[in-house]
Amino acid sequence: MLIHSIKELREKVKTWKAEGLSVGLVPTMGALHAGHKSLIDRSVKRCDRTVVSVFVNPIQFCPGEDLDKYPRTLEADEKLCEGSGVDIVFAPSPKEMYGEGHILSNDFLTYVIPPYFYVDKLCGKSRVGHFDGVCTVVNKLFNIVQPDYAFFGEKDRQQLIIIKKMVNDLNIPIEIVPCPIVREDSGLALSSRNKYLSDEDRVNALALSKILFNIKACYKKGVNDCKALFETAYEYLNESHSLEYLEFRDADNLEEKTTADDNTVVFIALKIGNVRLIDNIMLGEEC
Ligand code: PAF
């Protein structure tokens, strides 16, 4: 069932709650792919009812980013959800979520601002204000849907860590369920932005996963000096790549690591032409 209105959504969820049913929320910006499907499948398996939100959130895009050209494929998204046992696809308009006008101005909207330490690094460094927009919309979705569980992909691991922090700090009574990255056979992590890649870009994009897999293999062989691990990346980079960051950070609080351990996540962001791709790997997890 496709719902655009907050009021209608709330009424529906209220009837489920009255019946004592558990509710799962999968927040998305649409253009659903197998990565989203794995989140949806987890929710459908774990919860009595599942809501998938499809909302391209304008306040998490920085000036000059791809807000206008971000893929919007609601019909296909609805089909995927229908075939996956989703109960409601919630697709509000920007006006429904933020009201008339001024939605891009901090002067006219109450924001949820995550701690500076969590946002002044990795993606937050080049995408200033991005995580304010994410936390604000996720809070709104939490308040609208009031789910018992919310499912987030580890592909956006900085986002996941920040949302867990927000839920903990603000005592939000929702269990955050992290879901593993889904990759193509080639190793490329699934992302809605992969749609922007040409055939040649796709080949060059394999550098991200190759760098991460190789670092993990070196770590498993006993190398734990992060500088030495960093240097192994050069082998995979060519003139088509612009490396934004390759960093070693703690999986819980994003502190920088100089010596890697099992709780270290290696984060990478790489630009190929105009397409910016991110990926990450947890060193302690089994391959
Ligand atoms: O990860 C995303 O797709 C978005 O950042 C989210 C969590 C749906 C908020 O708009």
In the prediction, which pLDDT does 101 show? 60
pLDDT for the residue numbered 269: 98
Nearest CA to ligand 1 atom 2: 28
pLDDT tens digits, 184-201: 999 999 998 899 999 999
Separation of 89 CA from ligand 1 center, angstroms?
Answer: 15
**Segment 143-155, tens digit of pLDDT:** 999 999 999 999 9
Residue 150's region, left for phi above 0, alpha for psi from -120 to 50, else beta, is beta
In angstroms, the CA 61 to CA 204 distance is 25
Say if residue 159 is in the same domain as residue 215: no
In tens, the pLDDT along 93-142 reads: 999 999 876 555 666 789 999 999 999 999 999 999 999 999 999 999 99
Confidence of residue 167 (pLDDT cuts 50, 70, 90): very high
> What's the pLDDT at 286?
79
Are both 67 and 35 inside the same structural domain? yes
Same domain, 68 and 158: yes
184 lies in some domain: no
36, 102, 130, 241: the active-site residue: 36
Query: Which residue among 70, 135, 137 has the greatest number of ligand 1 atoms within 8 angstroms of its CB, and so is best to mutate?
Result: 137
Q: Which domain holds residue 124?
A: 2-179
Residues 62, 104, single domain; the answer is yes
> Which residue has a Cα nearest atom 1 of ligand 1?
28
Alpha-carbon distance of 44 to 26, in angstroms, equals: 10
* 115 located within any domain: yes
| pLDDT number for residue 259 | 98
Quote the pLDDT of residue 100.
76
Q: How many structural domains does the chain have?
A: 2
Residue 125 lies in a domain: yes
Q: How many CB atoms lie within 10 A of CB 189?
A: 22
Distances in Å between the alpha carbon of 3 and those of 10, 70, 87, 96, 277? 10, 21, 10, 12, 31
* Spacing, Cα 99 to ligand 1 middle (Å): 20
Residue that finishes a domain, picked among 140, 158, 179: 179
Identify whether 185 is part of a domain. no
pLDDT at 107: 67
Question: What would the two tokens of residue 217 be?
Answer: 């293999």
Backbone angles phi, psi at 149, to 5 degrees: -135, 145
**CA nearest ligand 1 atom 9, residue:** 134
Q: Which DSSP helix (H) or strand (E) runs through 248?
A: strand 241-250
Please indicate whether residue 36 is annotated as part of the active site: yes
> Per-residue pLDDT averaged across 81-89, rounded?
98
Q: Is residue 218 part of a domain?
A: yes
Q: What is the CATH number of the domain that holds 264?
A: 3.30.1300.10
- SS3 letters for 8-28? HHHHHHHHHHHCCCCEEEEEE
52 lines ligand 1 (CB under 6 A): no
* 146 and 59 co-located in one domain: yes
Per residue in 34-81, pLDDT tens? Answer: 999 999 999 999 999 999 999 999 999 999 999 999 999 999 999 999
Among candidate residues 179, 207, 238, the one where a domain is terminated: 179
**pLDDT digit string (tens) for 228-264?**
999 999 999 999 999 999 999 999 999 999 999 999 9
Q: Which of 153, 179, 205 is the last residue of a domain?
A: 179
- Half-sphere exposure for 142 (CA within 13 Å, toward CB): 23
At residue 165, the pLDDT reads: 98
pLDDT for the residue 72: 96
Q: Is the domain of 160 the same as that of 239?
A: no
Question: According to the model, what pLDDT value does residue 30 have?
Answer: 97
Give the separation between CA 57 and CA 64, rounded to whole angstroms: 15
* 287 within domain boundaries: no
Same domain membership, residue 255 and residue 217: yes
